[in-house]
């Protein structure tokens, strides 16, 4: 019936403390990234309002996460020790009840044994003495078990007291840790909002640049089209001038040819 600490469920993976530790580790990773960004751009995003007006260091903020994790682990450990003590007390109560029951049985058996001795019933006396011996052995075993449980209970109660003392020390820092954690979460939200705003601004700038590029390309295409139309009109104009010049040249040449023919005919007539 007697159990040890192995019977209880330890604080470990799968419980709230482990989840809280994962969350704290995630926050620490985010904090490292944030400090790297802050050092790169020289900004003041991490001015968490320390009492001396200086920017809170990474070590100070990381200490807050460590305290929070220690609190959670210590509270889980305290619940575990309380469970051990309660279980040991219940086992002691059951063992004490068994001892009392065996004592009552032994008392009744001893009375019956005296009665059978008075009757000089040797068979009954022999049987009762055997039962008495067996009962005394059971009683001895239960009393030894009771002693071990009492010793273990005192040890567990002492361990519980030590945990409660440590928990009391840590609890004094609970308000400070809570305030720092709220401050950190506020910073985290502000940083996320700032990053989102920056990403939106980058997106808007990119869209603006793309629009400018499209407008520039469209303007360039319009200019090329206008220049092409201008050259086309000039080409047509020069073509008309060339055709006109060609026609005039042909007319002039025909006129000269006709004049030459007339002069030749006149010369032929004179010669005749």
pLDDT in tens, 130-164: 998 999 999 899 999 999 999 999 999 998 888 88
Distance, in Å, from the CA atom of 173 to the CA atom of 179, rounded to the nearest integer, reads 10
Is residue 103 in a domain?
yes
Percent share of the chain, pLDDT over 90: 18
Instruction: Categorize the per-residue pLDDT at 249 as very low, low, confident or very high, splitting at 50, 70 and 90.
Output: confident
Is residue 205 in a domain?
no
Distance, in Å, from the CA atom of 52 to the CA atom of 198, rounded to the nearest integer, reads 30
Q: Are 58 and 32 in contact (CB under 8 A)?
A: yes
Is residue 245 in a domain?
no
Is residue 197 in a domain?
no
DSSP state letter for 5: G
Residue 85, pLDDT score: 92
Instruction: Categorize the per-residue pLDDT at 18 as very low, low, confident or very high, splitting at 50, 70 and 90.
Output: very low
What is the SS3 assignment for 13? coil
Is residue 202 in a domain?
no
Longest alpha-carbon distance in the chain: 206
Instruction: Categorize the per-residue pLDDT at 195 as very low, low, confident or very high, splitting at 50, 70 and 90.
Output: confident
Instruction: Categorize the per-residue pLDDT at 26 as very low, low, confident or very high, splitting at 50, 70 and 90.
Output: low
Q: Are 142 and 91 in contact (CB under 8 A)?
A: no
CA distances from 47 to 31, 38, 52, 146, 166 (A): 13, 10, 11, 61, 32
Dig out the tokens for 216 from the structure.
């520039």
The mean of the pLDDT values for the chain is 77
Range of the domain at 20: 5-172
87-101 average pLDDT score: 92
Is residue 30 in a domain?
yes
Residue 59, pLDDT score: 65
What is the SS3 assignment for 52? coil
4 CB-contact burial (10 Å; exposed 0-12 / middle 13-18 / buried 19+): exposed
Domain CATH for 24:
1.10.287
Dig out the tokens for 67 from the structure.
């305290």
Residue with the larger pLDDT of the pair 17 and 158: 158
Dig out the tokens for 34 from the structure.
């944030």
Is residue 147 in a domain?
yes
Residue 42, pLDDT score: 46
Q: Point out the least confidently predicted range of 59-68, 89-98, 204-213, 238-247.
A: 59-68
Residue 62, pLDDT score: 67
Give residue-wise pLDDT tens across range 47-91.
444 444 344 555 666 666 676 677 778 888 889 999 999 999 999
Please state, as a whole number, how many other Cβ atoms lie within 10 Å of the Cβ of residue 164: 15
Q: Are 2 and 91 in contact (CB under 8 A)?
A: yes
Q: Averaging pLDDT over each range in 9-23, 34-48, 103-117, which range is the top one?
A: 103-117
113-138 average pLDDT score: 88
Is residue 39 in a domain?
yes
Dig out the tokens for 205 from the structure.
């700038």
Q: Are 73 and 17 in contact (CB under 8 A)?
A: yes
Total count of domains within the chain: 1
Dig out the tokens for 122 from the structure.
């040797």
Dig out the tokens for 25 from the structure.
């580790």
Picking from 141, 124, 127, 15, the residue whose alpha carbon sits closest to that of residue 76 is 15
HSE-CB of 43 using CA atoms within 13 angstroms:
12
Residue 268, pLDDT score: 74
* pTM reported for the whole predicted model: 0.46
Distance, in Å, from the CA atom of 48 to the CA atom of 63, rounded to the nearest integer, reads 14
């Amino acid at each position: 019936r007697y159990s040890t600490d192995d019977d209880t469920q330890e604080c470990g993976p799968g419980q709230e403390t482990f989840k809280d530790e994962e969350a704290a580790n995630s926050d620490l990773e985010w904090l490292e990234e944030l400090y790297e960004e802050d050092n790169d751009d020289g900004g003041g995003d991490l001015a968490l309002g320390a009492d001396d007006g200086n920017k809170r260091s990474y070590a100070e903020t990381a200490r807050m996460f460590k305290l929070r994790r220690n609190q959670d682990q210590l509270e889980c450990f305290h619940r575990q020790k309380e469970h051990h003590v309660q279980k040991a007390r219940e086992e002691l109560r059951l063992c004490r009840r068994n001892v009392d029951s065996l004592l009552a049985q032994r008392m009744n058996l001893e009375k019956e044994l005296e009665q059978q001795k008075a009757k000089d019933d040797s068979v009954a006396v022999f049987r009762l003495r055997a039962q008495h011996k067996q009962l005394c052995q059971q009683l001895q075993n239960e009393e030894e078990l009771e002693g071990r449980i009492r010793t273990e209970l005192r040890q567990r109660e002492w361990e519980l007291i030590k945990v409660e003392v440590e928990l009391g020390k840590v609890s004094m820092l609970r308000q400070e840790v809570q305030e720092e954690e709220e401050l950190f979460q506020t910073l985290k939200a502000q940083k996320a909002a700032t990053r989102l705003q920056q990403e939106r601004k980058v997106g808007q700038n990119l869209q603006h640049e793309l629009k400018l590029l499209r407008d520039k390309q469209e303007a360039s295409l319009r200019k090329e089209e206008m220049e092409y139309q201008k050259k086309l009109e000039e080409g047509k104009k020069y073509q008309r001038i060339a055709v006109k010049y060609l026609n005039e040249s042909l007319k002039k040449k025909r006129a000269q040819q006709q004049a030459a023919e007339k002069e030749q005919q006149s010369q032929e007539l004179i010669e005749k």
